[in-house]
Amino acid sequence: MPPASPPPDAEAVRALFERVAPSYDRLNDLLSLGLHRLWKRQAIAWLQVQPGQRLLDLCCGTGDLALVLAEHARPGGLVLGLDAAAAPLELARKRAARQPWLPLEFRQGDALATGLADGWADGAVMAYGLRNLSDPAAALRELRRLLRPGGRAAVLDFNRPGDRAGRTATFQRFYLRQVVVPLARQAGLEAEDAYLEDSLSRFPTGAEQEQLAREAGFRFVRHQQLAGGQMGLLQLEA
C-alpha cells in the first residue's frame, strides 16, 4: 500500500477554491451530470428541517445548498453559510441577493474553529468540505460542539472505497482520470483537478468516518453510500 499523502495545507486549499470559484458550479453539473442536486437534497432530508430553525452550512462554497436550506427554514429561521475562501462567498452573496426574502447570511471563516457558541445550530450540512480540511477529526468535533442536543448533521462527499482493488475503486479511478481530467483540462483547471484524486487518497473511508464521528461524541452515526459507492453521505445526530 502506498504511503498516505500528507494532510492538505489550509492556505493552499483556500487559494485553490479562490481560483476555481467562477467555474465551480458549471464543473459540478458536468462531472455529476447534475446529480449533485439530488445528493444534496438527500442530505437536507436527513436534517428534517423545521421553520424557525438555525442551520449551518460549513464549507458552503457558492451557496447552492444554503439557498435550498433557507427555503425550508422560513419563516423565522436563519441559515449561516461559512467558507474559508472569499471568491465563492462573493458568488453566494450575489445569489442570495436575487432572493432577498430568504433568511441567509454568509461569513468567511474556519470550519475547524468557527467561533460560534456551543449548541448554536439546530442542524448542519457540509458538502464536499470534509475531504478538503486538514483535520477531519477536528472538523467533526467542531460540528458536534455546534449542534444542540438532538440536532442532526449531514456530511456529503466522495466515497473512498475500502478495497482499492475492487470494482468501485477501479471505476472511480477510471472516471477521475478519463472523464474528470479531460473536462478540467478544457476548463483550464488541470492542476486543480489533480488535487481531487490526491485528496481522495487520504480521505477516511466510510467506516473510518463513522469511527471519527463516534469519537467526536455523536450518538447516532451512519455512513450511506450513494451513486453505486462513488459518493458517501455521513448522517449524524448529536
Q: How many domains does the chain have?
A: 1
Flag whether 190 is in a domain: yes
Mean pLDDT along residues 179-198: 66
Q: Determine the pLDDT at residue 190.
A: 58
Flag whether 156 is in a domain: yes
Q: Determine the pLDDT at residue 14.
A: 87
Question: Quick one: 178 exposed, middle or buried, by C-beta within 10 A (0-12, 13-18, 19+)?
Answer: exposed
Flag whether 49 is in a domain: yes
Flag whether 97 is in a domain: yes
The band of 1, judged by pLDDT with boundaries at 50, 70 and 90, is: very low
What DSSP character marks residue 164? T
CB proximity list for 182: less than 8 A, separation 6 or greater:
none
CB proximity list for 60: less than 8 A, separation 6 or greater:
66, 81, 82, 83, 88, 89, 92, 106
Flag whether 180 is in a domain: yes
CA distance 55 to 59: 13
pLDDT digits (tens, 9 = 90+) for 162-183: 766 578 778 777 777 776 667 6
Q: Is 79:51 a contact under the CB 8 Å cutoff?
A: no
The band of 23, judged by pLDDT with boundaries at 50, 70 and 90, is: confident
Q: Determine the pLDDT at residue 166.
A: 78
170 is in which domain, residue-wise?
Answer: 10-237
User: What is the value of pTM for the model shown?
Assistant: 0.88
- For residue 189, the Cα-to-chain-centroid distance in whole angstroms is 20
Q: Is 90:157 a contact under the CB 8 Å cutoff?
A: no
CATH number, position 135: 3.40.50.150
- For residue 4, the Cα-to-chain-centroid distance in whole angstroms is 22
Helix axes 10-32, 190-202, angle to 10 degrees: 100
Q: Determine the pLDDT at residue 2.
A: 42
pLDDT digits (tens, 9 = 90+) for 139-158: 999 999 999 999 999 999 98
Pairing state between β 54-58 and 78-83: parallel
Flag whether 157 is in a domain: yes
Flag whether 198 is in a domain: yes
Flag whether 3 is in a domain: no
Is pLDDT at 17 greater than 60 in this prediction? yes
Q: How many residues belong to the chain?
A: 238
Is pLDDT at 103 greater than 80 in this prediction? yes
Helices H / strands E in the chain, number of each? 9, 7
